[in-house]
Amino acid sequence: MKKVIIAFDGEHFSEGAFRFVNRLNECHELLATGVFLPIVDYAELLYSLGTISGPMYVTDIIEDDGKIIEETVANFELLCKTNGIKYKVHRDLDGHVITELKDETRFADLLVLSSELFYRNLGVAEQQEYLVNALHKAECPVVLVPEEYKLPQSIILSYDGSQASIFAIKQFAYLLPELTSLKTILVYAHAGKDVPNMNFIKELVSCHFPNISYYHLDADPRPYFETWFVENKNPILVAGAYGRSLLSELIRKSFINDVIKDHKFPVFIAH
**Burial class, 214, CB count within 10 angstroms (exposed 0-12 / middle 13-18 / buried 19+):** middle
- Which pLDDT tens digit goes with each residue over 37-82? 887 654 454 444 444 444 444 444 455 566 788 888 999 999 999 9
**Burial class, 170, CB count within 10 angstroms (exposed 0-12 / middle 13-18 / buried 19+):** middle
Q: Which amino acid is located at 62 in the chain? A: I
Predicted local confidence at residue 192, as pLDDT: 59
Higher pLDDT among residues 130 and 235, named by residue: 235
Which of 118, 200, 223, 208 is closest to 171 using CA atoms? 208
**Burial class, 194, CB count within 10 angstroms (exposed 0-12 / middle 13-18 / buried 19+):** exposed
Domains of the chain and CATH, by start: 2-145 (3.40.50.620), 154-270 (3.40.50.620)
Confidence of residue 120 (pLDDT cuts 50, 70, 90): confident
Among the ranges given (22-26, 214-218, 260-264, 266-270), the one the predictor scored with the smallest mean pLDDT: 260-264
68: left (phi over 0), alpha (psi -120 to 50) or beta: alpha
Are the C-beta atoms of 114 and 148 separated by less than 8 Å?
A: no
Confidence of residue 24 (pLDDT cuts 50, 70, 90): very high
3-class secondary-structure state, position 84? coil
Check pLDDT > 90 for residue 204. yes
Check pLDDT > 90 for residue 246. no
Are the C-beta atoms of 43 and 95 separated by less than 8 Å?
A: yes
Positive or negative, the CA dihedral 13, 104, 28, 269 is positive
Are the C-beta atoms of 233 and 154 separated by less than 8 Å?
A: yes
- CA 37, CA 251: separation in Å to the nearest integer? 30
pTM for the complete prediction? 0.83
Neighbours of 123 (CB within 10 A): 10
- Which pLDDT tens digit goes with each residue over 72-87? 899 999 999 999 999 9
From the CA atom positions of the chain, what is the Rg in Å? Answer: 20
